[in-house]
Amino acid sequence: MTTLGLFTPYSLDPGGGERYLLSIAEAMRGAAEVYLITPAEQPLARLEELARQLDLRIDHLRPISYADAKSRAPFDLTVVMGNEVLPPIPALGRKNVFLCQFPFPAKLPDLARRSPFWADYESVVVYSDYAKAHTAKAQHDVSVPEKPIHVIHPPVAPLPAPPACERKNGMILSVGRFFSDGHSKRQDELIGAFRGLKIAKSSLHLAGTLHGHPVSQEMFARCQAAAGTLPVTFYPNADRAELARLYAQSDCYWHGAGLRADREKEPEKFEHFGITVVEAMASGCIPFVLDQGGPASIVTSAKNGWTYRTTFELTKKTSHFLTSINDDAIREMRAAARRRARDFSVEVFSIAWLNLLGADTSRVRRNGSSTSTSTIDWAVLCRYGFNDAEGDFIWANHEFGISCAPSSTTRVLFRSYGRQGHCLHYWLDQNTSESKYELADGLQQIAITNATEHDSTCYLRIEPRVHNPGDIRDLGILIHRIWTGDEPHSGGTLLAAIPSSSSELTSSLGVQTLKTRARDPH
């Protein structure tokens, strides 16, 4: 089996970088033998605790030391994590990818030590377009040959809300590690902004990891002192269940990484992506983020959240949100936030890494199924017309979003090999009204009308009568073409929609937006 080495030089604390690296391991489950490489071998009990805190599985992961890894090299694939423009260690694999969280400033002697490693790395992966722009500039500044830079956003799985959990008016949440260096989450600045909010019954809730080292303890003590008698509640080391409750209850979400930082001279102090921002949006909690850094590309101001530049602007916009926006507009904004969060699903992340590493995807578990698709006869699948399954294949029990132009009809031509009772559900922009189609065998097409005067997203979801991932009849449908127009395609049965109650739809497992393609099926 293919071997994959994942290297991190950092201590294994429950944070975004650790979640990202272990999510690569999960994406490669079944496709590679995965080794977690650290400067010193980590006890299995420590990894199991980390996995529990991050709600990830690591039973297929083999922890080894860097010294052991060097003796085993070369691995078929390696991914090396670092916080500078150049990788911290020599390449250990036949194919090597550098995962640059952000190109933090580095001392010249350290860069000189790392420069010889650069030639053996094939490409660089970063978390966001913000990180990509600064990584490209850093490569140029240190005068090394430029490498391809790929943006693969961190995966964000929604935290399920606990039962009977209602939103509390004026409840403001912020989630992030308590620390004072690097890209600090600046909870101290958020407390200062909250002091100026002056909204009755508003409250600020600060959750995040609290470590024992000085930069963490110092920031936490500073925040407690700044809060004084204000209605500020702290949740140090809150677990995932507690975070799920807080996201579900909170009216809005504040993100402060980068406050007081110099935008030109200190780009590393701004948020590189914003996992907690997406988690908040997935729960319908409205985000307020700085207009600089990774979150600024996640949030569209006044549509699915707000961006701000100063704490004064943060306070002003939050006050407007809490006091001056009607309930219908807020509901639509929460729905838009949830839709945006789906662009950062675990499945999108997994597919991106599988494609980048060139893994054997026929051995990978899909759709969160506990059954491996290694039992599927892909040759049989191709004989039924599914000859592009790694392209626009909509897997059963998953949602897909298709952009629909205003005041027009979007048509979808697809092929299925369905059993009687398989249904294709669709709905526009989270509306409560859904329709469904009873699928037949072979080439079929549907027409979706967007009667509104704005762009909408149509969500499609395959719900099989039974679901056996080892049977090609239960896999899903293959999209051949998506187009806008009044004329149907000359081939394929045109299906008629049947009204469907919202209760027929179970919760979605993931989402991936399909780009419009002009593939002619003839």
Taking Cα atoms as reference points, which of 292, 261, 295 lies closest to residue 279?
A: 295
Looking only at the bridges linking them, the beta strands covering 408-417 and 441-450 are: antiparallel
Residues 448-488 have pLDDT tens digits of: 888 877 767 777 777 776 655 555 556 677 777 778 877 77
* Residue 287 β-bridge partners: 253
Torsion over CA of 287, 349, 248 and 318, rounded to 10 degrees? 0
Task: Take residue 83 and report the two structure tokens written for it.
Answer: 């916080």
* DSSP strands (E only) in 30-154: 33-38, 61-65, 75-82, 93-100, 123-126, 149-151
Other C-beta atoms within 10 Å of 514: how many? 17
- Distance of alpha carbon 198 from alpha carbon 211, whole angstroms: 32
Q: What are the domain boundaries of the chain? A: 3-151, 171-342, 365-514
Per-residue pLDDT, 63: 96
- Residue 269 has, within 13 A of its CA and on its CB side, a CA count of 15
Closest CA to 343 of 302, 399, 296: 399
Using an 8 Å Cβ cutoff, are 80 and 46 in contact?
no
3-151 and 365-514 share one fold: no
What confidence score (pLDDT) does residue 519 get?
29
517: DSSP letter: -
The candidate with the shortest Cα–Cα distance to 69, out of 117, 37, 44, 21, is 37
Per-residue model confidence as pLDDT tens digits over 307-360: 999 999 999 999 999 999 999 999 999 999 998 998 898 878 888 898 898 754
Q: For residue 414, what pLDDT is reported?
A: 81
Kindly list the distances between the CA atom of residue 431 and the CA atoms of 341, 394, 462, 510, in Å, as whole numbers in the listed order.
17, 21, 18, 18
Q: How many angstroms from the chain centroid is the CA of residue 89?
A: 28
What's the CATH number of domain 171-342, 3.40.50.1980, 3.40.50.1100, 3.40.50.2000, 3.40.50.12780?
A: 3.40.50.2000
Closest CA to 414 of 438, 388, 442: 442
Rounded distance between C-alpha atoms, residue 93 and residue 298, angstroms: 34
pLDDT on residue 417: 65
- Residue 350's nearest CA partner among 50, 29, 58, 6 is 29
Length of the chain in terms of residues written: 522
> Which has the closest alpha carbon to 484: 513, 460, 518, 509?
518
- Token couple for 50: 């980390």
Q: Are 381 and 494 in contact (CB under 8 A)?
A: no
* 189 neighbors 269 (Cβ within 8 angstroms): no
Task: Give 242: exposed, middle or buried? Use CB within 10 Å, 0-12, 13-18, 19+.
Answer: middle
SS3 for 399-447 is: EEEEEECCCEEEEEEEEEECCCCCEEEEEECCCCCEEEEECCEEEEEEE
143 Cβ partners below 8 Å, 6+ apart?
A: none
Q: Is the pTM of this model over 0.85?
A: no
Task: Show the beta-strand stretches assigned E in 169-219.
Answer: 171-175, 203-208
Opening angle at CA 41, ends 39 and 47, nearest 5:
110
Residue 127 per-residue DSSP state: S
Answer for the pair 103, 84: CB distance below 8 angstroms, yes or no: yes
Q: Which residues of the chain have pLDDT under 50?
A: 360-381, 383-391, 430, 432, 502-522
Name the superfamily (CATH) of residues 365-514: Galactose-binding domain-like (2.60.120.260)
Which CATH number applies to 3-151? 3.40.50
> How far apart are the C-alpha atoms of 184 and 223, rounded to whole Å?
13
Provide the pLDDT for residue 472.
Answer: 54
